[in-house]
C-alpha cells in the first residue's frame, strides 16, 4: 500500500486481496503437502483468473453501459479486488473515475504500451488527484521501507526457513544421554495422524520416552 500510495481507508480491500492470494497460493507449510489452503479446505480448484490478470490498485479500464452523451463508455479506475457474491462471475471492486467504490464485471487491464501514452497518463493522474481529495493521501510514515530486504519479497511468497547455524546438524540418537531428554518432558509437539496433524505431549515412561497424541 505504501509503495503504490494507496489511501489508508482502503486497507480492508487490500486485506481481502492478500487473503485471497495466500489462500490460493502454495506455500512451504508441511501439513498442506504442496497444496494451497483453499484446495486443502474446500477440496476443489478455484478460479485464479483475477489474481493472474490484476494486481492490487492497478490502473484499469472499465466500461459504463449508459454514459451521458458525450461521455465515453471506457473510463479509467483503480482495481481493488474480486467482489465475491456480487453480480456475475469475474465481478470486481474498483474506484471509479469519480473516486467512488463500485462493482463492475466489464473490467480489463490497461496494456503496457497504452500506459505510456500521454492521454492515458493524464487520465490516471486526474483520477489519483480525485482519490487523494476524497480519501486522503498516503503520509511518509505509512510508506514501507524499501531498503528492508524482506520488503522486496512479493506478499504471496512465504520465505523459506533457514536455520541460524547452517553448519549445525541434528545429533544422532545414540549421542544423546538420558538427562538431555528432561527438557522435553510435557513439551507439546505436532504429530502426523490419518493424513492430518494432531497436538501431542511428551510423557515420561520407564525405560523409554514417547510422544502421545
Residue 170's pLDDT is 58
Taking 80 as the threshold, does the pLDDT of residue 179 lie above it?
no
143 or 52: which carries more pLDDT confidence?
52
Buried/exposed code over 31-43 (b: 16+ C-beta within 10 A; e: otherwise): eeeeebbbeeeee
Residue 151's pLDDT is 53
Average pLDDT estimate for 138-157: 50
Residue 26's pLDDT is 79
Residue 176's pLDDT is 58
Taking 80 as the threshold, does the pLDDT of residue 119 lie above it?
yes
Q: How far apart are CA 203 and CA 213, in angstroms?
A: 10
- Which residue reads 466500461 in cell numbers? 63
Cell of 23: 489462500
Taking 70 as the threshold, does the pLDDT of residue 175 lie above it?
no
Residue 116's pLDDT is 87
Cell of 196: 492430518
Residue 147's pLDDT is 46
Cell of 149: 530486504
Taking 60 as the threshold, does the pLDDT of residue 207 lie above it?
no
Taking 70 as the threshold, does the pLDDT of residue 161 lie above it?
no
Model-level pTM greater than 0.75? Answer: no
Q: Is the dihedral of CA 60, 61, 65, 69 positive or negative?
A: positive
Q: Is the dihedral of CA 193, 196, 198, 204 positive or negative?
A: positive
- pLDDT band at 80; cut points 50, 70, 90: very high
| Mean pLDDT for all residues in the chain | 76
- pLDDT band at 90; cut points 50, 70, 90: confident
Residue 77's pLDDT is 93
Amino acid at each position: 500500500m505504501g509503495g503504490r500510495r494507496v489511501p489508508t481507508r482502503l486497507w480492508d480491500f487490500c486485506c481481502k486481496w492478500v487473503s485471497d492470494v495466500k489462500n490460493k497460493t502454495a506455500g512451504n507449510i508441511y501439513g498442506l503437502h504442496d497444496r494451497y489452503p483453499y484446495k486443502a479446505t474446500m477440496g476443489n480448484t478455484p478460479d485464479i483468473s483475477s489474481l493472474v490478470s490484476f494486481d492490487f490498485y492497478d490502473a484499469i479500464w472499465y466500461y459504463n453501459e449508459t454514459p451521458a452523451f458525450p461521455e465515453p463508455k471506457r473510463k479509467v479506475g483503480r482495481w481493488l479486488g474480486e467482489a465475491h457474491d456480487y453480480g456475475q462471475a469475474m465481478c470486481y471492486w474498483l474506484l471509479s473515475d469519480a473516486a467512488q467504490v463500485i462493482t463492475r464485471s466489464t473490467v480489463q487491464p490497461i496494456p503496457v504500451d497504452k500506459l505510456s501514452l500521454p492521454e492515458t497518463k493524464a487520465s490516471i493522474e486526474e483520477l489519483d488527484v480525485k482519490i487523494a481529495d476524497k480519501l486522503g493521501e498516503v503520509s511518509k510514515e505509512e510508506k514501507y521501507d524499501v531498503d528492508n530486504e524482506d520488503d522486496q519479497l512479493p506478499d504471496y511468497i512465504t520465505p523459506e526457513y533457514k536455520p541460524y547455524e547452517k553448519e549445525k546438524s541434528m545429533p544422532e540418537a545414540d549421542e544423546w544421554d538420558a538427562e538431555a531428554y528432561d527438557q522435553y518432558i510435557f513439551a507439546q509437539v505436532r504429530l502426523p495422524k490419518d493424513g492430518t496433524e494432531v497436538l501431542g505431549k511428551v510423557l515420561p515412561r520407564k525405560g523409554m520416552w514417547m510422544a502421545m497424541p
